[in-house]
């Protein structure tokens, strides 16, 4: 019964994902290396400040995560303005609060583009909020920078994804746990909150585990509702499942449920050395509200950790702490930096560089210029935006939680790796390609849209 | 001996930023100290202990292996510190043990205090990989410990991972051991070793012991022994061992079935205690006053924040939780009384307006808390006397926090019952509830009673907040996730009846936990909601209805 329901939910999720991505192909021009179109922006605006939209929930359930992204976005804009702005014009942030209400995200996005006339928007956290604004950005040809790790299976002409795709977070984490160093895990518990991101990620992971020879008997997949706080039964089940074979837990539990989950692990005496738990939604910011003692040794996979030691990161943290102090933000000197904050920081800088290069804030011109932008990120790597699939090339780090709530990096990739917008492990997705360059010009195709001679091929 | 201080820096330098700032640079007098341990460095023990601090992971693992072959108990403090993140490297390049309780730096082998400390000290960052290698070695050394609980922990560790090399060590330890629980654990550790051996009699004895213990850690191994290969031949050629494995497997499986049933019941009881706690305050305000108080969840949240504030002010002292109980009660009761006097009293008899007004108040309280404490969750640590759990039987652990909540809610529910049924104030409350006009006519100050009842209900919610702070998050949204549950319990139990709330909470908790293993958490919750809808259809007045004429 449960299996049936989860299958059908997956199907619905997949259909929703596809329909969201099908739209742009019809109306979009060939996005080849051709010169950008002339900017239709009103010339009268050319001297005034450039408006930049910030679309993060400042109230409601997601305020806990998104407020810091709003703060770091304002800090980055201030930093750019102090250096003289972009094209000699100041950036003017327009902050709106969609209040963790998914339809309101779409309304606020429309308001930002149509009424506020923002040149670009930085925003969204949950996948459901992104799916809700996507049609708006595609209809009005807006530009969105999305800073959070997500489930992939999407590529939009109007969105640049500065967070990780599954192959830049989930897959390397599972590979690490399979290795000798990570504990030789043979059995897998896929544990998540019940919505699109965990379901899709776990679907990819299940296919991936199959490809590594893990049988279905050795995979346990469980979901809990948002805000679930009673993990007694689930942790007892995990414990039982873990007898015999070395087991690892892959947690896509999101938001508030993490604290009761980890507390329950500690209470039932499960240590990271027995059953390691790798989480994709737990970072420095989430650990700030947690008693970290029982968590020591548990793992997280990200593209950035605050504990990474390099000059760029030191400068980034110093800037952030100074900004927190100056604006007297709640939390004071206990504030931390985390991966989505770094992704926001990278995104804003890349957009600003692209505007300088395009000499315009016109969306079509800027979009052409964002691809191939690179930026020396706080993670210590020179990060490049992929012009093909609109995702960043990112390094992957795996860290173990330390008693002070920071992470000790135990594994990392040698360099940035390219995102796979469509997972090669899901048979249906493996055929698809996200490539916004000529002749593909498509986020979701199995064949190029344009023939070599510029003749429009029969689309799909 | 390496002078290199880059410890725990693997493929890249991830020096702990926090630890770096923690230790201010006072590297004076270091030269004087370094001369002493230099002279002491001689044997392989000293080398291996020094090597525990790196500089590379491989070096640490080699040193752990070296200590395993040495088997010298003097290495114990250093290994213990390694697994517990208390190993440090001084500015002189030597390894030290940080005693976090005494805030002292000790030499790893003789345990003498080092003064002055060779700062800056570097933390030795260990990975799970190293911990996994070091813990069995540590456990073998700990078997000789004079403290029974340490020996027990060591024996349990060895029964998980025991290797053949430890066999004689374990047999010796078993012969010496007097403490019965340690003997049981050691017996299992020996059984694991024996089972992997070749002596048929010893293997049968081991299997019998395993069957008796019901320990599911051996389940996959004994299932393998009792099964057939793909070609139909037995995996285990020895028939006696095979029969014993069969029996042991059946014993373990039936034991586990019992454990999971009892476990589900106990988990249900614990969920019921949480439900009762969040509903108890509402049973008073909604049940007795008839106020649909949407801000009830926020009273829980304020109670939890009161706990956090007390914890911060007492710097996390051991007894902060005890102090937090009266503080949270009084603070939320006060907020409740102000709320009643300021808003709700003007809305009596108008339930829809009350609902809207209290909902608005709840949003206001959430946003105020968000502005004062920040949108982030705050960290409320469990005091050490509530950490860990009680092992009811093998494979079933009940956390002390949950046991504490069950006990606390029994005390609070009994207290509320006593106030309402046995005190003069309770008599007045019941009189006002049953017939307001008559109560006023005989001289009961009804308005003041209203305010006190609302204060009492809010105060109880505050106590619920103290309990919740020990189980989950403390954040501005805390109350929102419990408001539905609390109305569910009160409506199901029958408005105005304390006994109804208790019965409903108990029923919902246990039913939920019995359904959950079969359906999963999401469908379990849906099933419970569906059940409540059906039940309310059949019995709109709830489980326990007030009989006779009742004011609406």
Give per-residue pLDDT as tens, A187-196.
999 999 988 8
d(CA A9, CA A180): 35
Residue from B201, B238, B213 nearest B159 by CA: B213
The pLDDT value given to residue A186 = 92
Query: CB of A160 within 8 A of CB of A122?
Result: no
Q: Do B14 and A182 touch (CB under 8 A)?
A: no
Question: Which range has the worst mean pLDDT, A23-32, A279-288, A338-347, B480-489?
Answer: A23-32
The number of residues in chain A equals 460
Tell me whether B135 touches chain A (CB under 8 Å).
Answer: yes
The C-alpha of B525 sits at a distance from chain A's nearest C-alpha, in angstroms, of: 9
Per-residue tokens: B336: 């409740």
Mean pLDDT rounded to a whole number for chain A: 86
Phi, psi at residue B548, to the nearest 5°? 85, -165
The reply to whether A330 touches chain B by the CB within 8 Å rule is yes
Residues B90-97 have a mean pLDDT of 83
pLDDT per position as a tens digit, B464-501: 999 988 888 788 888 888 888 888 898 888 877 788 88
**pLDDT confidence of residue B128:** 86
Mean pLDDT lowest for which of A12-21, A337-346, B248-257, B264-273? A12-21
Predicted pLDDT at A294: 76
Q: Is B21 on the interface with A (CB under 8 A)?
A: no
Q: In what order do the strands lie in the sheet with B122-123?
A: B104-106, B95-99, B87-89, B122-123
If you measure CA to CA, which chain A residue comes closest to B368?
A: A59
- Chain B, nearest residue to A401 by Cα: B127
Q: What percent of chain B shows pLDDT beyond 90?
A: 20
pLDDT at A42 over 50: no
**From B131, B260, B264, residue closest to A297, measured CB to CB:** B131
Model confidence at A255: pLDDT above 80: no
Predicted local distance difference test score (pLDDT) of residue A388: 92
Q: What is the ipTM of this complex?
A: 0.75
pLDDT of B546: 62
What percent of chain B stands above pLDDT 70?
89
Q: Please judge whether B375 and A406 are an interchain contact, meaning their C-beta atoms are less than 8 angstroms apart.
A: no
Is A59 part of the contact surface with chain B (CB cutoff 8 Å)?
A: yes
Q: Using CA coordinates, name the residue in chain B closest to A245.
A: B220
Contact list in A for residue B481 (CB cut-off 8 A) is 227, 229, 256
| Residues facing residue B89 across a β-bridge | B95, B122
A17 vs A139, which has greater pLDDT?
A139
Chain A interface includes B314 (CB < 8 A): no
Helix (H, G, I), strand (E, B) or coil at A54: strand
Q: pLDDT tens, B312-321?
A: 898 877 889 9
Q: Extract the tokens encoding B237.
A: 């050629």
Compute the average pLDDT of residues A400-426.
92
Q: What is the mean pLDDT of residues B251-256?
A: 87
**Do A181 and B129 lie within an 8 Å CB cutoff?**
yes
User: Which of A61, A269, A411 lies nearest to residue B477, judging by beta carbons?
Assistant: A61
State the pLDDT at residue A45: 53
- Residues sharing a CB contact under 8 Å with residue B147, sequence separation 6 or more, in sequence order: none
Nearest to B376 among A59, A223, A289 (CB): A289
> Is B397 an 8 Å CB contact of chain A?
yes
Q: Could you give the CA distance from residue B38 to residue B221 in angstroms, rounded to a whole number?
A: 49
Of A269, A291, A308, the CB nearest to B14: A308
Q: How many CB pairs under 8 A join A and B?
A: 197
Lowest mean pLDDT among A279-283, A342-346, B27-31, B107-111: B27-31
In three-state form (DSSP H/G/I as H, E/B as E, the rest C), the secondary structure along B485-536 is HHHHHHHHHCCCCHHHHHHHHHHHHHHHHHHHHHHCHHHHHHHHHHHHHHHH
- Whether pTM > 0.90 for this model: the answer is no
User: For residue B41, what pLDDT is reported?
Assistant: 52
Chain A contact present for B346, CB below 8 A: no
Nearest to A409 by CA among B363, B14, B549, B378: B14
What pLDDT is stored for residue B158 in this prediction? 78
Residue B260 scores a pLDDT above 50: yes
Contacts of B480 in chain A (CB under 8 A): 61
Cβ–Cβ contact B364 with A under 8 A: no
The reply to whether A16 touches chain B by the CB within 8 Å rule is: no
Q: What is the pLDDT of residue B38?
A: 43
**Tens of pLDDT along A261-276?**
888 888 888 888 889 9
Q: Given an 8 Å threshold on Cβ–Cβ distance, is A307 in contact with B16? A: yes
- Asked if A276 reaches chain B (Cβ–Cβ under 8 Å), the answer is yes
Count CA atoms within 13 Å of residue A422 on its CB side: 23
pLDDT at A5: 43
Q: What value, to the nearest 5°, has the Cα angle with vertex B470 and ends B465 and B476?
A: 50
Q: Would you state the pLDDT for residue A251?
A: 95
Rounded to an integer, the average pLDDT of B277-306 is 88
């Amino acid at each position: 019964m449960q299996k049936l329901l989860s299958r059908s939910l997956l199907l619905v999720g997949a259909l929703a994902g596809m329909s969201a991505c099908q739209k742009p192909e019809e109306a979009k021009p060939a996005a080849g290396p051709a010169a950008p179109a002339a900017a239709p922006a009103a010339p009268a605006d050319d001297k005034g400040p450039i408006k930049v939209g910030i679309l993060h929930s400042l109230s409601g359930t997601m305020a806990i995560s998104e407020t810091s992204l709003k703060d770091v976005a304002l800090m980055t804009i201030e930093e750019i303005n102090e250096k003289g702005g972009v094209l000699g014009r100041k950036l003017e942030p327009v902050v709106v609060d969609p209040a963790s209400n998914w339809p309101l995200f779409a309304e606020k996005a429309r308001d930002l583009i149509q009424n506020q006339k923002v040149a670009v928007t930085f925003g969204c956290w949950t996948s459901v909020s992104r799916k809700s604004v996507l049609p708006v950005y595609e209809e009005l040809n807006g530009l969105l920078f999305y800073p959070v790790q997500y489930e992939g299976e999407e590529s939009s002409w109007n969105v640049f994804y500065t967070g990780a795709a599954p192959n830049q977070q989930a897959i390397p984490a599972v590979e690490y746990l399979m290795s000798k160093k990570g504990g030789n895990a043979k059995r897998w518990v896929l544990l998540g909150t019940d919505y699109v991101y965990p379901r899709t990620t776990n679907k990819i992971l299940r296919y991936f585990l199959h490809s590594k020879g893990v049988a279905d008997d050795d995979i346990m997949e469980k979901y809990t509702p948002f805000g679930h706080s009673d993990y007694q039964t689930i942790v007892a089940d995990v414990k039982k499942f873990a007898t015999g074979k070395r087991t690892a837990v892959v947690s896509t539990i999101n938001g508030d449920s993490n604290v009761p989950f980890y507390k329950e692990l500690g209470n039932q005496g499960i240590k990271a050395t027995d059953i390691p738990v790798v989480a994709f939604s737990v970072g420095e910011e989430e650990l700030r509200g947690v008693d970290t003692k029982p968590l020591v040794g548990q793992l997280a996979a990200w593209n950035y950790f605050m504990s990474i030691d390099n000059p760029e990161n030191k400068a980034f943290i110093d800037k952030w702490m100074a900004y927190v102090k100056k604006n007297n933000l709640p939390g004071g000197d206990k504030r931390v930096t985390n991966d989505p904050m770094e992704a926001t920081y990278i995104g804003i800088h890349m957009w600003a560089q692209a505007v300088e290069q395009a000499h315009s804030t016109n969306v079509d011109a800027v979009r052409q210029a964002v691809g191939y932008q690179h930026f020396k990120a706080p993670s210590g790597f020179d990060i490049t935006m992929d012009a093909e699939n609109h995702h960043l090339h990112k390094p992957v780090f795996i860290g173990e939680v330390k008693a002070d709530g920071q992470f000790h990096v135990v594994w990392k990739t040698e360099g940035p790796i390219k995102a796979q917008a469509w997972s090669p492990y899901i048979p249906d997705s493996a055929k698809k390609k996200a490539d916004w360059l000529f002749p593909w010009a498509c986020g979701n195709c199995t064949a190029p849209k344009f023939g070599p001679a510029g003749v429009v091929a029969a689309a799909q | 001996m390496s002078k290199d201080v880059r410890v725990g820096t693997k493929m890249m330098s991830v020096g702990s930023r926090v630890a770096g700032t923690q230790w201010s640079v006072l590297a004076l007098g270091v030269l004087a100290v370094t001369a002493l341990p230099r002279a002491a460095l001689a044997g392989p023990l000293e080398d291996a202990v020094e090597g525990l601090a790196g500089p590379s992971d491989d070096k640490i693992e080699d040193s752990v292996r070296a200590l395993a072959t040495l088997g010298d108990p003097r290495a114990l403090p250093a290994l213990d510190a390694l697994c517990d993140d208390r190993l440090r490297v001084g500015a002189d390049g030597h390894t030290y043990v940080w005693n976090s309780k005494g805030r002292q730096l000790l030499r790893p082998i003789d345990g003498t205090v080092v003064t002055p400390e060779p700062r800056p000290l570097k933390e030795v960052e260990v990975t799970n990989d190293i911990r996994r290698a070091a813990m069995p070695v540590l456990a073998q050394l700990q078997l000789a410990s004079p403290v029974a609980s340490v020996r027990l922990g060591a024996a349990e560790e060895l029964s998980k991972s025991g290797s053949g090399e430890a066999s004689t060590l374990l047999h010796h330890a078993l012969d010496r051991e007097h403490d019965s629980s340690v003997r049981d654990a050691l017996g299992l550790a020996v059984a694991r070793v024996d089972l992997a051996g070749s002596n048929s009699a010893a293997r049968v004895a081991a299997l019998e012991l395993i069957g008796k213990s019901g320990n599911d850690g051996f389940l996959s191994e004994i299932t393998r022994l009792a099964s057939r290969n793909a070609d139909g031949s037995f995996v285990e050629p020895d028939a006696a061992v095979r029969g014993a494995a069969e029996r042991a497997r059946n014993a373990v499986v039936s034991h586990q079935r019992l454990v999971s049933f009892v476990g589900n019941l106990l988990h249900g009881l614990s969920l019921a205690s949480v439900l009762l706690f969040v509903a108890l305050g509402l049973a008073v305000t909604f049940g007795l006053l008839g106020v649909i108080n949407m801000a009830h969840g926020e009273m829980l949240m304020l109670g939890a924040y009161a706990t956090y504030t007390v914890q911060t002010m007492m710097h996390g002292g051991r007894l902060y939780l005890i102090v937090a109980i009266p503080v949270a009660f009084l603070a939320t009761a006060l907020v409740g009384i102000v709320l009643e006097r300021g808003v709700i009293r003007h809305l009596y008899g108008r339930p829809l307006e009350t609902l809207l007004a209290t909902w608005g108040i709840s949003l206001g309280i959430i946003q105020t808390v968000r502005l004062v404490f920040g949108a982030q969750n705050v960290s409320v640590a469990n005091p050490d006397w509530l950490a860990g759990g009680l092992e009811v039987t093998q494979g079933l652990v009940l956390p002390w926090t949950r046991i504490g909540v069950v006990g606390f809610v029994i005390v609070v529910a009994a207290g509320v019952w006593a106030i309402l049924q046995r005190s003069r104030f309770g008599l007045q409350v019941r009189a006002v509830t049953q017939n307001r006009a008559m109560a006023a006519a005989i001289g009961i100050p009804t308005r003041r009673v209203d305010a006190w009842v609302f204060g009492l209900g809010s105060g109880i919610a505050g106590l619920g907040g103290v309990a919740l702070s020990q189980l989950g998050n403390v954040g501005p949204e805390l109350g929102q996730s419990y408001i539905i549950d609390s109305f569910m319990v009160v409506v199901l139990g029958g408005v105005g009846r304390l006994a109804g709330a208790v019965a409903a909470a108990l029923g919902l908790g246990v039913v939920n936990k019995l359904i959950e293993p079969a359906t999963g958490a999401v469908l379990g919750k849906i099933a419970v909601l569906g059940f409540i809808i059906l039940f309310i259809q059949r019995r709109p007045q709830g489980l326990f209805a007030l009989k006779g004429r009742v004011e609406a």
